[in-house]
Amino acid sequence: MAEPVTHFPASPSKSAFPYLLGAGFLAVLAWSLYTAQVDPRRLFEGDALANAARFLRGGFPPDLSAEFLSQMIRPAVETIQISVVGTLFAVLIGLPLGLLATSSLAWSGILHERRAAMGRWVLGFLPYAVARGLLSVFRSVPEYVWAFMFVRAVGLGAFPGVLAIGVAYGGMLGKVYSEILEGVNPRPLETLQAAGASKLGIVLYGLIPQALPSLVSYTLYRWECAIRASAILGLVGAGGLGQQIELSMRFFKFDEVVTLLGMLLCLVGAVDFVSGRLRARLTR
């Protein structure tokens, strides 16, 4: 009696899918380059080189006078304040929405095995869907656009920058928080439930301890990004070093611009060092 023939999936070398995917990617890339009019030769045209040389001549040597540096201390501190308070607002927005947007907490998984189907959908899935929708809206709009809208609403200054970072980064944090919480090991949760622990106890002693290092690590990373973002937001009047860069650029004081960029580089490096040390302690 002949043995049955077993058909295995086609090997990667014989499958046409990788080639089709690669060809599609190259076609989309070529179309994007053409549509966006990407032409590296324009960087070396006479006007582009002349403008770059003009900036370099005006920017060096940078303005390191004591008078100018003393005036920039307050915007530098304001940049740090915007990033810190904006990140705090983002956590306050992202954490509760992230918890609601976690399917294992809201409507499925071990915590809801004994809940009736109607209760799962009405009390669990609907808040889950609303939270996911809000997070999508918050992170879909760039922080630059949020800052522009908040400047129109509350006026110039640091406050619109704080609000812009809080809303935009709140959507990002909430999304990542929910994914981190959904990816924890379920076995400790099952053990706690089998031992008779309440839902709150399962969350506090089984879920949060597993996810906490990753939650804090990603939050610190977003704080680093907030330093960079606060400088960009200043270009629309949201305070900090960015607003000073915009003013110096407007009056063609390129030596001040170079100094401000150096100060921003120092701030980013300092925040990166501090957050890196904190992450290292968390992963020990």
What is the spatial distance between Cα 179 and Cα 85, in angstroms, rounded to a whole number? 24
- pLDDT for 8 equals 46
Length of the chain: 284
Tell which residue, 168, 126, 127, has the closest CA to residue 144: 168
To the question of pTM greater than 0.85 for the whole model, the response is no
Residues 6 or more apart in contact with residue 222 via CB below 8 angstroms: 87, 90, 169, 172, 173
C-alpha angle 104-108-109 in degrees, rounded to nearest 5: 65
Neighbour count for residue 123 (Cβ, 10 Å) = 15
What is the spatial distance between Cα 221 and Cα 272, in angstroms, rounded to a whole number? 8
Helices (H) and strands (E) in the chain, counts: 13, 0
Per-residue pLDDT tens digits for 126-156: 888 888 899 999 999 888 888 888 888 888 7
Q: How far is CA 156 from CA 75, 83, 163, 240, 245, in A?
A: 14, 17, 12, 11, 15
**Tokens 């008078």 label which residue?**
67
DSSP 276: H
Homologous superfamily assigned to 65-282: MetI-like (1.10.3720.10)
Question: What's the N-to-C CA distance of the chain in angstroms?
Answer: 62
What is the spatial distance between Cα 151 and Cα 240, in angstroms, rounded to a whole number? 14
C-alpha angle 205-211-212 in degrees, rounded to nearest 5: 85
Low-confidence ranges of the chain (pLDDT < 50): 1-2, 5-6, 8, 10, 12
Per-residue pLDDT tens digits for 35-82: 888 878 877 877 877 887 887 887 788 888 888 888 888 888 888 888
